C-alpha cells in the first residue's frame, strides 16, 4: 500500500525558499542587539533613528518568527529572557559574519579594479595604448595593467575566453561581445625609397596595386582584413604576396631594406615617412580608413577601470 504523504510533504513546495522567507532581516537583528546592549527599546529606537512603536513592532515580529519571548518590558526598561540571551549571542555572530562577507566582497572588488588585463591588436598596443594607460594611471596610482598583444581575431577569442577588455582594429563582430568605437585610423600603402613607385608623381590604381608583390600582415590581423575587404570592393580580390609577417616592425624593416611595398597603419609608419625612409603611395578609388573598437564580454560586463580606459581612448581619438 502506498504511503500517504505527511502534512509536510506538499507537492510543488520549495522548502529552501520557505526557509529563506523565514530568516529575519539583518536590520531587525541589529535592533534586537541594540535593545539588549542598551537595556531599552526606546534607546535602541533612537540609535537606529526609528520611532519606539516601530522598534517594538520589529521586536514583536522577531518573537513571532522565532516562536520565542525575547524581551520582557519592565518599568525600568527591557529585560532580555533566557531564550533572548541565546538569540542575542547568535544574532551577534550572524551580524559579524555578514560584516565579514561585505569586507571580503569589497576586497575582491578592489582587487579586480586594481588588476587591469587588456588584450590589444598590434597597432593599438604599440602606438595608442601606452598613452591611454599613462592618463588612466594619473588618477589610478595602484592600477597594474597587464597587456597581451595579438592580432584582432585572437584578441576577440581571448576576450570571449577570459572576459577581459580588448581593443581591435578589424570590423569583426561577435554575439557574445559588446563593442564601442574608440577612434579611427587609416591604412597607408608605403614603399621603400628605392621602389619604382617612390618616385611616381601620380596615384596608382587598385589594379596596379594588386599586380605588385606586397609585404602584408598575417591573416586574422585587422590591417590585413580591412585591406583585403576594400581591395575586393574595388574588384581586386586576388593579391600577390612577397611576404606575410606577424610583426609590424619586421614589415617596416623589410620595406626599407629591400625596397618593397606594403600596407600598414599610418600610426606605424609616421616616423619612417617623415624621414623619407618610406614613401606613402597614393591610391585612387580605395578607402582604407577603419574604426578602432573596444570589446568586452556581454555576460561579464565591464569594470569601472575598464570603462574609464575606454572613455579615455574615445576622448583622445576624437580630440576631446
CB 168 within 8 A of CB 276: no
Instruction: List C-alpha distances in Å: 259 to 202, 239, 274.
Output: 19, 19, 17
Instruction: Name residues whose C-beta falls within 8 Å of residue 245's C-beta, 6 or more positions apart in sequence.
Output: 215, 216, 217, 218, 251, 254
Which pLDDT value is given to residue 7? Answer: 42
Q: Is 317 a residue whose pLDDT tops 90?
A: no
Quote the cell numbers at residue 107.
576586497
pLDDT band per the 50, 70, 90 thresholds, residue 18: very low
Report DSSP state, residue 183.
E
Q: Which pLDDT score, from 0 to 100, does residue 318 have? A: 53
Per-residue b or e along 142-152, where b marks 16 or more CB atoms closer than 10 Å to that residue's CB: ebebeeeebbb
pLDDT tens-digit readout, 104-124:
887 676 655 577 999 999 999
pLDDT digits (tens, 9 = 90+) for 208-230: 999 999 999 999 999 999 999 99
Name which of 55-59, 141-145, 180-184, 241-245 the model is least confident about: 141-145
- Considering the domain boundaries, does residue 1 fall inside one? no
The reply to whether 280 and 264 lie within a common domain is yes
How many domains would you assign to the chain?
3
Q: Closest by alpha carbon to 313, among 200, 149, 180?
A: 180
Please report, for the domain that includes residue 310, its CATH number: 3.40.190.10
Q: Are residues 303 and 162 in the same domain?
A: yes
- Measured CA to CA, the distance from residue 288 to residue 167 in angstroms comes to 19
Domain boundary (92, 110, 128) is at 110
Please say if the pLDDT value at position 69 is more than 90: yes
CATH code of residue 197: 3.40.190.290
* 272-316 confidence digits (pLDDT tens): 999 999 999 999 999 999 999 999 999 999 988 899 999 999 998
Per-residue pLDDT at 4: 45
Helix (H, G, I), strand (E, B) or coil at 144: strand
pLDDT bin (cut points 50, 70, 90) of residue 74 is confident
> Residue written as cell 599610418?
266
Confidence of residue 173 (pLDDT cuts 50, 70, 90): confident
Amino acid at each position: 500500500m502506498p504511503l500517504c504523504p505527511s502534512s509536510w510533504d506538499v507537492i510543488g513546495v520549495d522548502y529552501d525558499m520557505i526557509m529563506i522567507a523565514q530568516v529575519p532581516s539583518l536590520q531587525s537583528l541589529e535592533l534586537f542587539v541594540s535593545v539588549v546592549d542598551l537595556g531599552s527599546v526606546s534607546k535602541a529606537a533612537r540609535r537606529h533613528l526609528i520611532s519606539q512603536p516601530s522598534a517594538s513592532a520589529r521586536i514583536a515580529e522577531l518573537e513571532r518568527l522565532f516562536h520565542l519571548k525575547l524581551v520582557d518590558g519592565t518599568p525600568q526598561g527591557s529585560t532580555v529572557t533566557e531564550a533572548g540571551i541565546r538569540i542575542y549571542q547568535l544574532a551577534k555572530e550572524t551580524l559579524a559574519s555578514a560584516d565579514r562577507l561585505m569586507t571580503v566582497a569589497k576586497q575582491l572588488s578592489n582587487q579586480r579594479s586594481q588588476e587591469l588585463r587588456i588584450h590589444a591588436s598590434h597597432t593599438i598596443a604599440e602606438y595608442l595604448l601606452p598613452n591611454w594607460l599613462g592618463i588612466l594611471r594619473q588618477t589610478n596610482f595602484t592600477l597594474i595593467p597587464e597587456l597581451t598583444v595579438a592580432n584582432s581575431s585572437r584578441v576577440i577569442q581571448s576576450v570571449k575566453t577570459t572576459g577581459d577588455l580588448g581593443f581591435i582594429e578589424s570590423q569583426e563582430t561577435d554575439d557574445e561581445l559588446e563593442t564601442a568605437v574608440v577612434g579611427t585610423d587609416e591604412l597607408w600603402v608605403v614603399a621603400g625609397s628605392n621602389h619604382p613607385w617612390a618616385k611616381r608623381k601620380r596615384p596608382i590604381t587598385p589594379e596596379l596595386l594588386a599586380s605588385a608583390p606586397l609585404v602584408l600582415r598575417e591573416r586574422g590581423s585587422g590591417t590585413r582584413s580591412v585591406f583585403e575587404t576594400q581591395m575586393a570592393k574595388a574588384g581586386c580580390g586576388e593579391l600577390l604576396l612577397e611576404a606575410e609577417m606577424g610583426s609590424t616592425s619586421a614589415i617596416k624593416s623589410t620595406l626599407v631594406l629591400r625596397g618593397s611595398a606594403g600596407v600598414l597603419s599610418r600610426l606605424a609608419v609616421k616616423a619612417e615617412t617623415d624621414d623619407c625612409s618610406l614613401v606613402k603611395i597614393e591610391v585612387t578609388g580605395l578607402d582604407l580608413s577603419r574604426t578602432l573598437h573596444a570589446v568586452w564580454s556581454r555576460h561579464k560586463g565591464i569594470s569601472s577601470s575598464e570603462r574609464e580606459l575606454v572613455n579615455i581612448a574615445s576622448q583622445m581619438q576624437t580630440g576631446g
